[in-house]
Structure 1
Amino acid sequence: MTEPVEAAAEAIIGLYSRHADDWARMRDGPLNAHERAHLERFAAALPEKAEVLDLGCGSGRPIAEGLIGQGFRLTGVDASPGLIARCRAAFPEHEWRVADMRGLDLDRPFDGVLAWFSSFHLTAEAQAAMAAVYARHLRPRGVLMFIGGPRRGVAMGTWMDQPLYHASLEPSEYRAGLERAGLIDIEEAALKPGEDDSVRVWTARRGVSD
């Protein structure tokens, strides 16, 4: 990567921290039909009153809010103090932590781990290391769902007039990393069915040890 792109990757946390209020306003609305369909699939795979770890939880709306409404117990992690403050104010009975998902270790497992449009802001190398983070936070048969791109590479966007970094591994790399981390039942689906360039929704489960 060139130096400007590397700088954009490192600037993600600061960008969302500075514009926490703007992000909260943008996401404070209903899910679109494509998001809703996949997240309903995630929720349906969880046990009743499941404990869910939401990585890159943002303001808690609409994702965590929807899961809470279904009776799940949420632990949200985000690197933006402003966004976590909003979560704590809106949903004080749940757990919210200011932390970087890279290398995260909460020392306890969950029934589900969700990284919805969050881990794809990490570099490809950091995303490769996330398989271990996902696995250590899942109970046996626990459910994982996260977003990746359709192919390896960097995609730059713009938000609040600032560069917005996204990256992806090759699908084969995501799959191999998940398998090495002990995850099974790995599936990849386009966010928008029928669109080859659509971002990918990955699901998997933690294997059961002998």
Structure 2
Amino acid sequence: MGSNDERDVVRRGYDELSYRYRADDADDGQYGPWLGDLHRRLPASAAVLDLGCGCGVPVARFLANAGHQVTGIDISDVQVERARRLVPAGTFLRADATRLDLPPASFDAVVCLYALIHMPLADQPRLIKRVATWLRPGGWLLTTVGNSAWTGTEDNWLDGPATMWWSHADASTYRSWLEQAGLEVTSEDFVPEGDSGHALFWARRPQS
């Protein structure tokens, strides 16, 4: 598949299975401790970018309820429509994250949970470099990425009528991409899922 085909598979998958992936009233789940930790690191009324925001639950909802100014980006029209309804205090845009052009130093934090791994692998290090420029000095990136390298699809994803596609490098590669973007990796954790799992990174733009 070409990269546009891959993007279309992801977009169609989330359009089709948005509610099966996450209900309107889903709780914070595993995200809760991460988001609480992020909130404690942020100034009041911080500007936060949620890349791959999905339906706005739980990330944008949590941060908006904590008083932060949240901008969410997602490739799925259905997900963005739900996010606007579920998190009316947020700003949500339907866009391809890898093609975003945002002002430098405009966010106190960028959150990208289980989303980078749906983007073409060649675009991922470039996006990480852009994220580093969007962060203000001292700003945080919280992201989950691949722990081991894999690219592939799953038919009948979530037992539904759609296919999903992923592509990710391994954790050490992501660490090097973060560092090459000028970010300081402050922690790396393994998040198990089924027989495998993901890597969770906290990275910070240096103060100067």
Taking the aligned partners of 1:208 and 1:184, their CA distance within structure 2 comes to: 10
CA contact (8 A) 2:3 2:120 kept: no
Task: Report how far residue 112 of structure 1 moved.
Answer: 0.6
Q: 1:125, 1:167 → 2: CA distance?
A: 10
* Structure 2 letter corresponding to 1:113: V
Shift of 1:21: 4.7
Structure 1 segments unaligned to the other structure (5+ residues) = none
- Cross-structure match for 2:198: 199
Alignment-derived partner of residue 63 in structure 1? 59
Counterparts in 2 of 1:49 and 1:101: CA distance versus 1, 3 Å: same
Aligned residues of 2:31 and 2:58 also touching (Cα < 8 A)? no
| 1:100-121 alpha-carbon deviations (Å, 9 max, x no partner) | 1013122252001001111111
- 1:152 equivalent to 2:124? Answer no
Residue 121, structure 1, aligned to residue 156, structure 2? no
- Cross-structure match for 1:98: 94
Secondary structure (helix, strand or coil) at the match of 2:197 reads: coil
Measured after TM superposition, the shift of residue 148 of structure 1 is: 0.8
Alignment correspondent of 1:35:
31
Secondary structure at 1:191 match in 2: strand
- Structure 2 partner of 1:16: 14
* Cα deviation, residue 19, structure 1: 3.9
The structural deviation recorded for 1:55 is 0.5
Answer yes or no: is 1:75 the counterpart of 2:75.
no
Q: Secondary structure at the match of 1:117?
A: coil
Secondary structure at the counterpart of residue 144 of structure 1 = strand
Tell me which amino acid in the other structure corresponds to 1:39: L
Q: Return closer, same or farther for 1:127/1:97 CA change in 2, 3 Å cut-off.
A: same
Equivalent position of 2:188 in the other structure: 188
Contact 1:175 / 1:186 at 8 angstroms: preserved in 2?
Answer: no
- CA RMSD, 1 decimal: 2.6
State the match for 2:207 in structure 1: 208
Aligned residues: 204
Q: CA deviation at 1:57?
A: 0.7
Question: Equivalents in 2 of 1:196, 1:39: separation in Å?
Answer: 25
Q: Which runs of 5+ in 2 are unaligned?
A: none
TM-score (norm 1): 0.84
Going from structure 1 to structure 2, the CA distance change for 1:89 and 1:127 (only over 3 Å counts) comes to: same
